[in-house]
Chain A
Amino acid sequence: MRAARAGAMDLGVGMAAGPKDENISRKAAPLSDEEVSRLRKDFPVLGLESAGSPLVYLDSATTSQKPQAVIEALAEFYRSQNANVHRGVHRLSQAATAAYEGARKRVAAFLGAGTPDEIVFTRGTTEAINLVAQTYGRRHVGPGDEIVVSAMEHHSNIVPWQLLCEENGAALRVVPINDDGELMFEAFEALLNERTRLVSITHVSNALGTVNPVKRVIERAHAAGVPVLLDGAQSAPHRAVNVAELDCDFFACSGHKMFGPTGIGVLYGKREHLETMPPYQAGGEMVLSVEFERSTYQAPPHRFEAGTPAIAGAIGLGAAVDYLSAVGMGRIAAYERGLLEYGTDLLLEADVRLIGTAKEKAGILSFHMDCAHPHDIAQILDDEGVCIRAGHHCAQPALARFGLSATARASIAFYNTKEDLDALGAGLEKVKRVFG
């Protein structure tokens, strides 16, 4: 039986792109245009046409496209390894278990976790945050306590805490953001007090593109004795993340935004936290023994993975992080920085209002046009084969800060090119012709 990753490695794709340790280097050379055009061939969807034009996919912050290596890893699992995990004596089950736990090791290495036991597979970032709220939160947050979030959070990093606060009589405190969409650090410091039980903040804002100074946030929170959860949904796919170096207590991310499958995500938690946390969902897999008087639970991470997990999804995610490591996260980040600059200039020339102009920004271009509503912009762009997102991006408070209920948002990944952004620019000219 072949190992699950064989499918991914066989394809070889951008594997020539560079050594793995580039993850750490901040000064990595950007991917060259030739490398990107080679890498694009790994993504079948990018070769499609839409509305008679070549498909231009500028919606990776919503979900990313999948390389052949990931698609093949999924198919290979179902073709030659499909069995339940942690159940059987038979060889097929052992192979499935090895592939599943192998994926956990890969994800742990990719995120810089000390041990795979600190990696819990979830359905996605949303479930990872809910898991922390319902286990760690329920245990540690009581009446009069406070949880700190920022004004740029995704709804999935607001509502789980609201539910917890309602249930336990705690209060949600919100760090304001400035007109550029940057965290107001002094206001953050002022919010920390002896009642603060947790800081839960996004690494990169999905609506504004802001990259938060998470290292400083964590240092400051820890100095006040407060643990920190990072929502890494928009950072893990685009920059090197090292949870040990960051010293965050929890880190959540989604497979489908990391070029992996839907239905799989990751919660990293420091071992000291995971070990003392009560179970999340209950059922098979998470127990050691069950009697009607009482049951005992597995150690982490399995304590938090009740029921049959998304086995193929985890293996697909393992293939995705292998792929990303082979390309090099440092090189990806450097390339995307260049594209962001190009896209920012292009949008400024197009005379749209950029929403989110932080000094430290990731490849997210949220904008507003006076002449057209975001849904109309997205509709006209779709006629040209250009896919963007329009709406509130599940971050209504962030947009409300700018007096808006919706924006148009183009988001980039390493498979995008200047030509993609040129197509966006041409589409916006058409928007102006129709609505101007």
Chain B
Amino acid sequence: MADEHALYQRILLEHSRRPRNFREMNDADLTAEGHNPLCGDKLRVYLKMDGEVISEAMFQGSGCAIFKAAASMMTAALEGKTRREACALSETFCNMIDSEPGDPVDIKRLGELVALAGVREYPVRRRCATLPWHTLRAAFETHGRTRSTA
């Protein structure tokens, strides 16, 4: 494509084609399942903890490109973060997704996650981007229960 698609930016497509940390973890310390019944996006998030620090984050699941890229970028961003830092990042990310198109984004804190800011133009796709992060919080809070964003 000559110019970047407002939604499907290059970095997003790259993550959706070759998602990072896309496999099952048998010895996860924390895990939870997330499901968006509206469009069928489904994933399981796995975390390996070293005390309060996330040493490894992985996911498995199926869904659209937005969802897959969001989950892939999330696992990449989580490694080495404390539980508290991860929750703060989740909040910053979900706030960005829920903000209005054109609103300023916190590039410093979000890093390459800002590639998903284009989702703001497409309200029905917002949940595709936030489902992995909601599932992450479910892993912290409930350890194992299914998180539905419906």
Interface residues of A (CB under 8 A from B): 372-376, 379-380, 383, 390-392, 405-406, 433-435
Contact = CB atoms under 8 A, between A and B. Distances in A.
Nearest to A430: B1
- Considering the complex of A and B, which 6 residue pairs feature the smallest CB-CB distances, nearest first? A373-B64, A405-B40, A375-B64, A376-B65, A406-B40, A376-B64
B101 to A, nearest CB: 15
A372 B66 CA distance: 11
Nearest to B5: A434
Contacts of B1: 433-434
B63 interface: yes
A332 to B, nearest CB: 32
Interface of B: 1, 5, 7-8, 13, 17, 38-40, 42, 62-66, 122, 125, 128
B8 A375 contact: no
Contact of A372 (B7, B65, B125, B128): B65
Contacts of A380: 8
11 contacts: A373-B63, A373-B65, A375-B66, A376-B8, A376-B65, A383-B5, A391-B38, A391-B39, A406-B39, A433-B1, A434-B1
Contacts of B122: 379
Query: Chain A interface mostly helix, strand, loop or mixed?
Result: helix
Contacts of B40: 391-392, 405-406
Nearest to B7: A379
Contacts of A374: 64
Contacts of B63: 373
B125 A379 contact: yes
Contacts, number: 38
User: B interface, by DSSP: helix, strand, loop or mixed?
Assistant: loop
A161 B17 CA distance: 42
Given A405-B40, A405-B62, A375 B7 contact: no
Contacts of A391: 38-40
Contact of A375 (B5, B17, B128): B128
B123 to A, nearest CB: 12
Nearest to B68: A373
A405 B66 CA distance: 17
A181 B121 CA distance: 37
Contacts of A434: 1, 5, 8, 13
Given A374-B64, A434-B13, 7 more contacts: A376-B8, A379-B122, A391-B38, A392-B40, A434-B8, A435-B8, A435-B17
